[in-house]
Amino acid sequence: MRTLPRVGLALLVVLALARPAAAGHAWGAPVLTIDADSLQQLAREGRSVVAVDVRPQEAFRAGRLPGAQSLPLTALTARQRELPDGGLVVLYGADSVDEAAAAFRYLRSAGRTNVVVLEGGFAAWRAGGFEVER
């Protein structure tokens, strides 16, 4: 029972940190984003966060966020049930919000409310000097 309130609190913190990405994305709805520093802070605090790499498998194997799972855009509809219902799911692509925005919008339309997109994608994570897993 103690896990549920903690996850709820973590989600509130993330939603406070997350903000709609700039206009100009296809499909119209705003995409909630989180920056690399805020994501690193949540992980450091032990919050329930799952990083999901939507890039092709080859890019995932070359380098990824620590503990990330691979879920390429091409497999999203078939494998969406692999994503956790609780905690925060942070989607990321190569170097912009746009690549993961399609996954974000699909998952939101499927009823998932615990998803955000990493601003600047994997490139922003690396540029921040954060750990990269290979």
Dist. CA 98–CA 114, nearest whole Å: 18
| Cα–Cα distance measured from residue 104 to residue 91, given in angstroms and rounded to the nearest whole number | 7
CATH of the domain at 89: 3.40.250.10
- Residue 111 belongs to domain spanning: 3-127
Which pLDDT score is estimated for 107?
Answer: 95
Is this prediction's pTM over 0.85? no
What is the DSSP secondary structure assignment for residue 5, as one 8-state letter? Answer: H
Q: Would you state the pLDDT for residue 27?
A: 52
DSSP labels, 68-89: -EE--GGGHHHHGGGS-SSSEE
On whether residue 134 sits in a domain, the answer given is no
What pLDDT is recorded for position 16?
40
Check residue 28 and give its pLDDT. 60
Written as tens digits, the pLDDT of the chain (134 aa) is 333 344 343 433 444 444 444 433 345 679 999 999 999 999 999 999 999 999 999 999 999 999 999 999 999 999 999 999 899 999 999 999 999 999 999 999 999 999 999 999 999 999 999 999 99
Give the model's pLDDT for residue 102: 94
Examine residue 96 and state whether it is found in any structural domain, yes or no: yes
Split into its structural domains, the chain has a count of: 1
